Amino acid sequence: MKRIAVTGLTGQVVSALIERAPKGVEMLALGRPRFDLASRDAVLASLRSVRCDAIVNAAAYTQVDKAESEPDVAMRINGAGAGFVAETAAELGVPLLHLSTDYVFDGTLQRPYREEDETGPAGAYGRSKLEGEKQIAARCANSVILRTAWVYSPFGANFVKTMLRLGEDRDEVGVVADQLGNPTNALDIADALLAIAQRLVGDPNPGLRGVFHMTGEGEASWADMAEAIFAAAAARGRKPVRVRRIATSDYPTPARRPANSRLDNAKLKAHYRIALPPWRDSLDSCVGRLIEAK
Ligand SMILES: NC(=O)C1=CN([C@@H]2O[C@H](COP(=O)(O)OP(=O)(O)OC[C@H]3O[C@@H](n4cnc5c(N)ncnc54)[C@H](OP(=O)(O)O)[C@@H]3O)[C@@H](O)[C@H]2O)C=CC1
Ligand SMILES: Cc1cn([C@H]2C[C@H](O)[C@@H](COP(=O)(O)OP(=O)(O)O[C@H]3O[C@@H](C)C(=O)[C@@H](O)[C@H]3O)O2)c(=O)[nH]c1=O
Ligand SMILES: [Mg+2]
């Protein structure tokens, strides 16, 4: 595997892939204005013009609340746009790795979600991502859809950076304690994507294709995650910040979010022998890096 084409320029997963690509693997990032998921012509033309061994579709409309007021834009990029990428991957005959989300589920199940569990997005972002999954499955058999969740990293915008910023001028931050999920470091996602791409290029086994859940090991509420962020920051000399554990109803947002976002990663382990590190370890190293960079 010599070259991977990845969609997006500054996103968390794109940036992590660029950082983690080993010597000898070129990571070619495609982004706006030239590559725009909103334009079928642009997607086809850019992807056709690069010679690559695999494609990672890491670009998406990811603003969960904003999507509620422009659902058609989200649908166009995450639904139709993903379909254009899949169509081109099939034409070029290269494997496609696509990222999806825990927000395709409604969150009412009382255990971690498995791949075959019924979907039922609670909001416009989740609906658009579910449409993307359908487009990918219909247009490119040589593909994997990796549902991940609660992604943070040293790059882009994410919950860890938000908490560290809020903690700079507050002693206490209120954070919802009744939404459960799996915090996932984009750098761990990148390592796994590289291994998965390598496997797909060399192994036609249909068992390696389809939908897989892929998140950091272990579960947390957003409040648990915030507490871990502030503990990691305090261990590096930042002033202590308390987390006030609040209910979802105390933190009104335009989008409804699943109460249970936990994903079961057993299928990925069984078929690929891949497991992401425990969330607390990866979170601690990310906080360390963000603080040391200052
Ligand atoms: N963030 C999260 O918590 C989670 C994310 N995911 C999924 O993982 C994937 C990666 O997410 P993440 O890295 O966090 O995303 P980011 O929000 O960090 O980055 C989004 C990327 O998409 C690009 N993009 C947006 N619109 C377009 C468009 N019309 N044409 C081309 N590129 C576009 C952005 O481009 P530009 O660089 O130009 O700004 C950016 O590079 C996405 O599919 C997302 O749905 C799944 C679960 C959780
Ligand atoms: C900033 C803040 C957020 N919250 C809550 C709101 C929300 O329920 C939760 C997380 O806030 P965020 O805005 O980071 O969450 P959100 O943007 O919904 O994160 C989601 O992004 C998309 C792209 C995904 O695919 C999901 O997996 C998930 O990571 O924390 C607080 O309780 N207090 C706060 O001060
Ligand atoms: Mg957000």
Nearest-atom index, ligand 2, CA of 158: 14
- Residue 125 is a catalytic residue: yes
Distance separating alpha carbons of residues 269 and 265, to the nearest angstrom:
7
What proportions of the chain, in percent to the nearest 5, are helix, strand and coil? 45, 20, 40
Nearest protein CA to atom 15 of ligand 2, as residue: 159
Q: Which atom of ligand 2 is nearest to the CA of 148?
A: 27
- The secondary element (H helix, E strand) that includes residue 230 is helix 222-234
**Residue whose CB lies within 8 A of the most ligand 1 atoms, among 62, 148, 182, for a mutation test:** 62
Alpha carbon 251 to chain centroid distance? 23
The mean pLDDT of 279-290, rounded to a whole number, is: 98
Atom of ligand 1 nearest to the CA of 125: 45
Q: Count Cα neighbours of 54 within 13 Å in the Cβ-side half-sphere.
A: 26
* pTM confidence score: 0.98
* Six token digits for residue 154: 């040293």
Residue 59's pLDDT is what?
98
pLDDT in tens, 1-13: 999 999 999 999 9
Q: Give the integer Cα–Cα distance in Å for 128 and 124.
A: 6
- CA–centroid distance, 159 to ligand 2, in Å, is 7
221 Cβ inside 6 Å of ligand 2: no
Q: Which ligand is nearest to the CA of 259?
A: 2
How many of the other CB atoms lie within 10 Å of CB of 182? 25
Q: What is the structure's pLDDT at 141?
A: 97
278 cis-preceded (ω within 30 degrees of 0): no
The domain 3-157+184-217+261-277: what is its CATH number? 3.40.50.720
The encoded tokens of residue 160 equal 């860890």
Residue 150: the pLDDT is: 98
Instruction: Report which protein residue has its CA nearest ligand 1's atom 30.
Output: 36
Quick one: which H or E segment has residue 146?
A: strand 143-148
Other beta carbons within 10 Å of 293: 7
Complex ipTM over 0.90: yes
Non-local (6+) Cβ contacts of 252 within 8 A are none
Among candidate residues 61, 103, 113, 125, the one labeled active-site is 125
Model confidence pLDDT, tens digit, residues 121-163: 999 999 999 999 999 999 999 999 999 999 999 999 999 999 9
Cα(124) to ligand 2 centroid in Å equals 15
User: pLDDT grade, residue 285 (50/70/90)?
Assistant: very high
In the DSSP assignment, the letter for residue 122 is S
Per-residue pLDDT band for 294 (boundaries 50, 70, 90) equals confident
